[in-house]
A and B are shown apart, each in its own frame.
Chain A
């Protein structure tokens, strides 16, 4: 398994790390048993644009890199456009992810979507809704490719 240079760059120098204290929306996804937890806080301006976005992530290299890139992609976007960012866009932006790590990009887009819905709900507006993939009990974070691409384990 090899990470692209861009994944390593975002892992080593993650952008927008932290918490916005007076955030307009908060999204936290994942759980410690799975090993990945991501929290996204957002600040939204009057024009529904993401004027600020920060993240905190407990997770592997790909989890940190996807969190970082999703904050870069979303910053300045209109919230409905930001919520529509797909896991594929996140992965492509990073120059690809190993198949077993695709779930990390799902976590990143989910975290953003939950934060945006939190903002909308707080303002009595209709949340975007739709499935939060990483919260689905039947969600296989490693997808169909997991078995074939299982890493050689030579501990």
Chain B
């Protein structure tokens, strides 16, 4: 076999659990396995661990009070709970029934928004501009006194673009609405302080930050109207019933702590690697394009989205996989739906180009060698696929 070289370049899909996170979690499976809602010793021990994790998480997330942090089962649950819970409770309190979400949200936001629109809410899907950024003045034009909730993601999972959250929250508050942000891709990767940013709610996930799958968190600012998704025993301050995942909460807190310690150094290191990915791909092949702004401050360090024109994304992905390289694509074929990535279409990327998009996302264990390996392996793959295409020469001339 030719090589043991490999490159995992899909950290925005998921991350391996950091050994230190596993070590922090382990005691709550082996010894401290009590139900945190029980009164006896085992329960009290688990309760203390859970509340310590909540306090640490609150501090890391920038919540003013630990009770503002609710542990959930995943980022999608946090998103669902925020959109449905705030819109319904806000409307019940006499706010209007208008909801604004950006057109480039994760499905975890778009699907509950669609559900609301079937239940008497009016939903506006706000488009970002071509650079992938949702502009505050565009939001101002979309909101009204009827707007109960605005949800705009912080770092876009496909593009890596960063929304100006504080300004968007301020615009929302001008009309008396509540503001939620999906911060799943941003937490620990770009600075984000929930209270300081002025948001009313934010969603997080542990498995994007070297924590376990199946654990998320929702920041819910005190006083924000909320109708829980899960009802039952009234755990999590009646906001999320179900016996808490104590080890998971401990893992979330530890993962977050490690991210924040490393943040400035990692941001600089990953920005350098990301720029090399973009430069390496665009300079080694004709007919490529970068999606979303790459401007510092508007683009997260760990994500790059490029289009390789005249090639279909899944075929690139599979060929790269043959060489031990893992990336994502926004092609229709990879999503199993008819359309390519809704995010790329929303920023005006034509469907025929979106089919050829690759998302490369970097993380804690990414090395320069992995990046160079991708840059070395991709061009011959692309050349071969373009040579197999009945239309490449016609569409782009014989430039390769």
Residues of A that sit less than 8 Å from B by CB? 1, 8, 11-12, 14, 17, 19, 28, 32-39, 56-64, 98, 100-101, 141-142, 146, 149-151, 153-155
Contacts and interface: CB of A to CB of B under 8 A. Distances in A.
Interface of B: 12-14, 106-107, 157-158, 310-315, 318, 322, 328, 330-338, 340-341, 350-352, 355, 359, 385, 388-392, 395
Nearest to B354: A35
A33 B351 CA distance: 5
B340 A28 contact: no
Contacts of B389: 37, 56-58
21 contacts: A32-B391, A33-B352, A34-B351, A35-B333, A35-B355, A36-B312, A38-B390, A57-B389, A58-B310, A58-B311, A58-B388, A59-B333, A60-B334, A100-B336, A142-B338, A150-B337, A151-B335, A153-B107, A155-B13, A155-B157, A155-B341
Given A33-B352, A57-B389, A64 B315 contact: yes
B61 to A, nearest CB: 22
Given A59-B315, A63-B312, A151-B336, A35 B352 contact: yes
Nearest to B333: A60
Contact of A37 (B14, B331, B391): B391
Contacts of A60: 312-315, 331, 333-334
B390 A61 contact: no
A36 B314 CA distance: 11
Nearest to A17: B388
Nearest to A111: B390
B352 A32 contact: yes
5 interchain residue pairs of minimum CB distance = A60-B333, A151-B336, A39-B390, A32-B352, A35-B355
Nearest to B319: A12
Contacts of A61: 314-315, 318, 333
B332 A35 contact: yes
Nearest to A14: B388
A1 B390 contact: no
B314 A155 contact: no
Contacts of B359: 155
Contacts, number: 103
A12 B320 CA distance: 11
Contact of A28 (B157, B310, B388, B390): B390
Contacts of A1: 336
Contacts of A100: 336
B312 A56 contact: no
Given A33-B352, A56-B390, A141 B338 contact: yes
Contacts of B390: 19, 28, 37-39, 56-58
Given A153-B107, A155-B330, A58 B392 contact: yes
A141 B337 CA distance: 10
Contact of A11 (B315, B341, B350): B315
Given A58-B388, A153-B335, 8 more contacts: A8-B318, A12-B322, A58-B311, A58-B392, A60-B334, A146-B336, A151-B337, A155-B106
A142 B333 CA distance: 10
A59 B317 CA distance: 12
Given A32-B352, A63-B312, A154 B332 contact: no
Contacts of B322: 12
A150 B337 CA distance: 6
Contact of A57 (B314, B355, B388): B388
A98 B350 CA distance: 27
Nearest to A32: B352
A8 B317 CA distance: 13
Contacts of B388: 14, 17, 56-58, 64
Contacts of B334: 60, 151
B30 to A, nearest CB: 30
A56 B314 CA distance: 17
B351 to A, nearest CB: 5
A19 B394 CA distance: 14
A151 to B, nearest CB: 4
Nearest to A141: B338
B391 A58 contact: yes
Contacts of A36: 312, 333
